[in-house]
Amino acid sequence: MPSGAFHRWKPHVTVAAVIERDGQFLLIEEHTSDGLKLNNPAGHLEPGETPEQGCAREVLEEAAYDFEPQALVGVYLNRFIKTRTGEDLTYLRFAYSGRLGAHHGWRQLDTGIVRTLWMSSDEIRACRERHRSPLLLASLEDYLAGRRYPLALVHTDASVPGCAVAPR
């Protein structure tokens, strides 16, 4: 970087869902540059959406389920260096729990998603080498510890185009 140049650090903002049904957790298996990996249904927050809207969208796109976030499980910061390129990335993730809705088996999953699967917490813990990110296990453990925060903890200002702000 040239002398006097200013570089602003900007983390990648992502949203993820921790979804439990009958003691099993919904995960996706996806192709990555490091091979097949497991992750929560998760992805990048897009312009004009609240984190809750982004989370619901990602679950639909990656797992073909309707999902309604009902609580914030946690906010996580993670640094990741790509093995192939050495690119240094930081992710800020908002993880939500909520209500799983209808499954739309006819929907095509996002590019790179191989399948969805349901796993127990013990099975997830036993295959850490297959996790796309350490945030998968961190959010699972927080969920199992009962961490749930009101959705109102994350405020989205009315200036966000797709936001309908409810009174506080």
Burial pattern 51-81, b for ≥16 Cβ within 10 A else e, equals bbbbbbbbbbbbbbbebebebbbbebebeee
CB neighbourhood size of 125 (10 A): 13
Mind listing the pLDDT tens digit of every residue in the chain (168 residues)? Answer: 455 577 788 889 999 999 999 999 999 999 988 899 999 999 999 999 999 999 999 999 999 999 999 999 999 999 987 777 887 888 999 999 999 999 999 999 999 999 999 999 999 999 999 999 999 999 999 999 999 999 999 998 888 876 665 544
3-state helix, strand, coil in the chain (%, to 5): 20, 40, 40
CA dist 103 → 20, 27, 61, 86 (Å): 14, 14, 11, 38
Q: Taking a C-beta distance cutoff of 8 angstroms, is the pair 109, 95 a contact?
A: no
Compute φ and ψ for 41, nearest 5 degrees.
-60, 120
Q: Taking a C-beta distance cutoff of 8 angstroms, is the pair 37, 131 a contact?
A: yes
Which domains, ranges and CATH numbers included, belong to the chain?
A: 12-153 (3.90.79.10)
